[in-house]
Amino acid sequence: MKNNIRILREAMGLTQSELCKKLKENGYCIDRTTLSKYETDDHNLSDKTLVALASFFETSTDYILDLTDKK
């Protein structure tokens, strides 16, 4: 992953904690530490997490996984 999660988060002007809070408001909980690991590719995304992030950022799962450059 080319840190696309971090790129998307920063483009929205959100800190990791703010993103976790917004995701929780949308019914999906990710711990800030886990989010940090996703951003540095130290932890594999589950399918559920991948879909939740793609939905939140209104992008494709392929973009998050760096399989395409198209958002």
* DSSP-assigned states of every residue in the chain: --SHHHHHHHHTT--HHHHHHHHHHTT----HHHHHHHHTT-SPPPHHHHHHHHHHHTS-HHHHTTS-S--
Angle between helices 47-57 and 16-25 (to 10 degrees): 100
Q: What pLDDT was estimated at residue 43?
A: 85
- The count of residues in the chain is 71
Confidence of residue 5 (pLDDT cuts 50, 70, 90): very high
pTM: 0.89
Q: What is the pLDDT of residues 24-63, one digit of tens each?
A: 999 999 999 999 999 988 888 999 999 999 999 999 999 9
Q: Please name each of the domains of the chain with its CATH number.
A: 4-64 (1.10.260.40)
